[in-house]
């Protein structure tokens, strides 16, 4: 499996791939971004395991996995929009709207919970559609559209729900959130995240729709000329983003046992940093056309790992955010350095 998928096949002359390829056309694994992340994860797990008592305890691994699963979903939700070369600042707002819709369907409309979950996901996809349609029709940059829509979606949701939470959800939600498998070290939420990631890999590697998304994101004009309905593809990307945001929010509902409007912060902006950290660390380019699902997964996991380790080291809860910002900066700098290093070596 190629660690990075891109629209340009390796044999295309004149467009050097990001990683040097061996004879079989596969990228050398140890120079990829993903391998770097695996190494970092291994290093930090060892370091924290030695430095802090209890890092490798079943409870901590369980809690870590559960938080990481949610961060992975948030990162994936942003990643599918970054593929189009755009941004979705409204991931948090859409996610919360989806979760609150699910809560309303259960508590006020009396639907059984499986249907309500589908309803919540449908809400997420619908809001994503609104974003995508507006961006495509107006030709405006997705930054300003999703900046406005995050306000509008969140504000309307709060207004309609009067800021109240749905706290009478069936116990299946909180039971799922607290379930522990594999000798008490793993949360099923991790399995959900893995399943979604696998589906996304299949999408981008093996389906026409996925390849169209990559092509449209890389070079919209060229894609349009080769018959791809770029506008429609972009809308699908935004709908997918909304759907994934809804999944992330529902995972949070399972973790909390309640649908709270404040679950993603004011306007949903607390999700912005994890939404970008995952994909950027994972090597997904902001210019679009390239995606790394595995990288996003590993990146989000690494960030959660580091946060958890820092808390255990009693570094001071208040320095964690500064550290995450520094991490993001270092990640983009290192990625830039890695690409220019590889580009130079190809020239030589």
d(CA 153, CA 156): 5
10 Å Cβ neighbour count for 230? 21
Task: Draw the binding track, 24-53, toward another protein (x: CB under 8 A; -: no contact).
Answer: ----------------------------xx
Tell which one of 19, 67, 284, 292 touches another protein (CB under 8 A). Answer: 67
Q: How far is the CB of 25 from another protein (least distance, A)?
A: 30
Q: How far is the CB of 10 from another protein (least distance, A)?
A: 26
End-to-end Cα distance, the chain: 28
State which residue, 6 or 142, has the beta carbon closest to another protein. 142
Q: How far is the CB of 312 from another protein (least distance, A)?
A: 6
CA 89, distance to chain mean position in Å, is 12
Under the binding rule (CB under 8 A), the answer on residue 260 touching another protein is yes
Per CB under 8 A, which of residues 139..168 are in contact with another protein?
139-141, 143-145, 147-152, 154-156, 158-159, 163-165, 167
Q: Rg of the Cα trace of the chain?
A: 20
Secondary structure element (H or E) that encloses residue 6, with its range:
strand 5-6
Tell which one of 265, 338, 339, 342 touches another protein (CB under 8 A). Answer: 265
C-alpha to C-alpha distances, 103 to 33, 141, 151, 245, 257, nearest whole angstrom: 39, 33, 21, 16, 11
φ/ψ of 183, rounded to 5, equals 65, 30
Q: How far is the CB of 65 from another protein (least distance, A)?
A: 11
Under the binding rule (CB under 8 A), the answer on residue 16 touching another protein is no
10 Å Cβ neighbour count for 98? 33
> Near another protein by CB under 8 A, which window of 4-12, 54-62, 123-131, 208-216?
54-62
State which residue, 140 or 199, has the beta carbon closest to another protein. 140
Under the binding rule (CB under 8 A), the answer on residue 269 touching another protein is yes
HSE on the CB side for 65, CA within 13 Å?
A: 24
Under the binding rule (CB under 8 A), the answer on residue 311 touching another protein is yes
**Tokens standing for residue 187:** 């949360």
Residue 348's SS3 state is coil
Under the binding rule (CB under 8 A), the answer on residue 308 touching another protein is yes
State which residue, 87 or 228, has the beta carbon closest to another protein. 87
State which residue, 243 or 249, has the beta carbon closest to another protein. 249
> Near another protein by CB under 8 A, which window of 108-116, 225-233, 239-247, 303-311?
303-311
Per CB under 8 A, which of residues 77..116 are in contact with another protein?
87
Under the binding rule (CB under 8 A), the answer on residue 238 touching another protein is no
φ/ψ of 126, rounded to 5, equals -65, -45
State which residue, 63 or 182, has the beta carbon closest to another protein. 63
User: Which residue has tokens 């069936």?
Assistant: 170
The beta strands (E) that lie in the chain are given as 5-6, 290-291
Q: Name the residue among 184, 195, 160, 189 with its Cα closest to residue 173.
A: 189
Under the binding rule (CB under 8 A), the answer on residue 129 touching another protein is no
């Amino acid at each position: 499996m190629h660690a990075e998928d891109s629209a340009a096949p390796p044999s295309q002359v004149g467009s050097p791939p990001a990683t040097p390829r061996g004879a079989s056309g596969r990228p050398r694994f140890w120079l990829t971004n993903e391998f770097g992340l695996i190494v970092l994860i291994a290093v930090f797990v060892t370091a924290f395991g030695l430095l802090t008592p209890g890092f490798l305890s079943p409870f901590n691994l369980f809690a870590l996995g559960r938080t990481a699963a949610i961060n992975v979903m948030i990162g994936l939700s942003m990643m599918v929009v970054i593929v189009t070369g755009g941004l979705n600042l409204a991931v948090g707002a859409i996610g919360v709207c989806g979760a609150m819709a699910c809560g309303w369907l259960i508590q006020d409309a009396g639907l059984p919970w499986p249907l309500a979950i589908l309803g919540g996901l449908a809400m997420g996809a619908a809001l994503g559609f609104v974003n995508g349609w507006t961006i495509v029709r107006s030709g405006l940059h997705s930054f300003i559209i999703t900046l406005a829509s995050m306000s509008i979606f969140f504000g309307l949701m709060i207004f309609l729900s009067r800021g109240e939470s749905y706290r009478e959800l069936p116990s299946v939600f909180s039971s799922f959130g607290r379930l522990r498998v594999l000798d008490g070290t793993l949360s099923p939420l991790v399995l959900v995240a893995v399943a979604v990631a696998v589906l996304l890999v299949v999408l981008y590697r093996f389906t026409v729709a996925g390849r169209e998304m990559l092509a449209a994101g890389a070079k919209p004009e060229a894609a349009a000329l080769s018959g791809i309905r770029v506008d429609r593809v972009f809308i699908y990307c935004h709908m997918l983003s909304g759907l994934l945001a809804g999944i992330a929010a529902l995972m949070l509902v399972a973790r909390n046992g309640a649908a709270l409007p404040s679950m993603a912060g004011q306007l949903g902006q607390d999700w912005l940093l994890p939404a970008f950290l995952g994909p950027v660390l994972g090597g997904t380019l902001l210019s679009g056309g390239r995606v790394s699902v595995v990288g996003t997964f590993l990146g989000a996991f690494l960030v959660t790992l580091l946060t958890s380790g820092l808390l255990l080291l009693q570094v001071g809860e208040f320095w964690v955010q500064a550290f995450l910002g520094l991490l993001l900066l270092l990640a983009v700098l290192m990625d830039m350095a890695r690409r220019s290093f590889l580009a130079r070596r190809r020239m030589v």
